[in-house]
Amino acid sequence: MSSYGRRLVWVTLATAIVCVAIGLYIGLYLTNVPGSVAAAHVGPVTNLYLGTVPAAEPTDPHPTWVSYYVVSPTSTNWQHDTTFVLPANSLVHVTIYQFDGDSGLRNPFISQATGTVGGAFQLNGKTTQAIDPDDASHVFAIPQIGLSVPLEGVPDSAKNPCSNAPCPLSYDHETISFTFRTPAKGLYRWQCFVPCAAGYMLGFGGPMQTVGYMDGFIKVV
Partner 1 sequence: MNEVNHFRRVLLIWLVASTIATPLVIFVLAPIVPPGNGTVESAGQVTDNTVLFGLSTPIALAVIVWFLYAVIVFRERDTSGAVLDGPPLRGDARIQMWWVVITTAIVLFLAGYGTVRLLSDGSGGGQGPNPIAAPSQAKDPPLRVQVIAQQWQFTYRFPGYGGVETQHLEIPAHTTIELNVTSLDVIHSFWAYQLGVKADANPGENNIAYVTTKQPLTFNIRCAELCGVWHGYMFDTGRVVTKAQFAAWISAQRLTYAPATKSLPPYSNTYFPDPQRLGG
Partner 2 sequence: MSAIAVTTEKPPAWRRLIGFNLLTAIVLGIAGYLIGYWIGGRINTPSTAFFSAEAGENDISVFLGYGFGVIGFLIGLGFANYPVRRLLGYPPTLAEHESADEGLGRYFRLCTDHKVVAMQYMIGIGFFFAIGGLNAMLIRTELLNPNSHVFGANQYLTLVGMHGSMMMGMMTSSILGPFANWLVPLMIGSRRMAFPRIEAFTFWLLMAAGVILITTIFFGGFQTGWTGYQPLGSQGTAGYDAYVGFFALVGVSMTLLGFNLLATIITMRAPGMTWTRLPIFVWGVVSTAILMLLASPMLAAALFMGAFDRTVQTAFFVPGNGGSSFLWQNLFWVFGHPEVYIVALPGFGIALELLPVFCRKPLWGYRIAVAGMLGVTLLSFFVWQHHLFVSGINADLRPFYMLSTELISIPTGFIFLCAMGTLWRGRIRLTVPMLFVLGWAFNFLFGGISGVFLSDAPSDVTTHGTFFSMAHFHYTIMGGLVFTFFAAIYYWIPKMTGYKLSEVLGKVHFWTLFLAFNATFGPLFALGFMGMPRRVVTYPTSLQPLNDWVTVCAYAIALSMLVFLYNVVASLIFKREPEVANPWNSKSPEFQLPTPVPVHDFDRIPVFDADPYPYGVEPTPAPTVAPAGGTA
Question: Shortest CA distance to 110 belongs to which of 137, 133, 85, 82?
Answer: 133
| The one among 51, 150, 166, 212 contacting partner 2 by CB under 8 A | 212
Instruction: Output the CA–CA distances (angstroms, integers) from residue 103 to 38, 63, 94, in the order listed.
Output: 30, 19, 22
As a whole number of angstroms, the distance between CA 194 and CA 214 comes to 10
The span from the CA of 213 to the CA of 151, in Å, is 16
Contact (Cβ atoms closer than 8 angstroms) between residue 77 and residue 71: yes
Cα separation, 82 vs 94, whole angstroms: 14
Binding span for partner 2 by CB under 8 A among 86-94, 135-143, 166-174, 203-211:
203-211
Only one of the segments 5-13, 17-25, 30-38, 195-203 lies at the binding site for partner 1 (rule: CB under 8 A); that segment is: 195-203
Nearer to partner 2, 30 or 159 (CB): 30
Interface map 145-184 toward partner 2 (x if CB under 8 A): ----------------------------------------
**1 scored as a contact of partner 2 (CB under 8 A):** no
In the complex with partner 2, which residue's Cβ is closer, 33 or 117?
33
Distance of closest approach, residue 200 Cβ to partner 2, in angstroms: 6
Indicate which of partner 2, partner 1, none lies near residue 183 (CB less than 5 to 8 Å, by partner kind).
none
Q: How far apart are CA 103 and CA 163, in angstroms?
A: 15
Closest CA to 125 of 152, 165, 161: 152
The residue ranges that bind partner 1 (CB under 8 A) are: 103-112, 114, 119, 129-130, 132-133, 141, 143-144, 146, 148, 189, 191, 193, 195-204, 208-211, 215
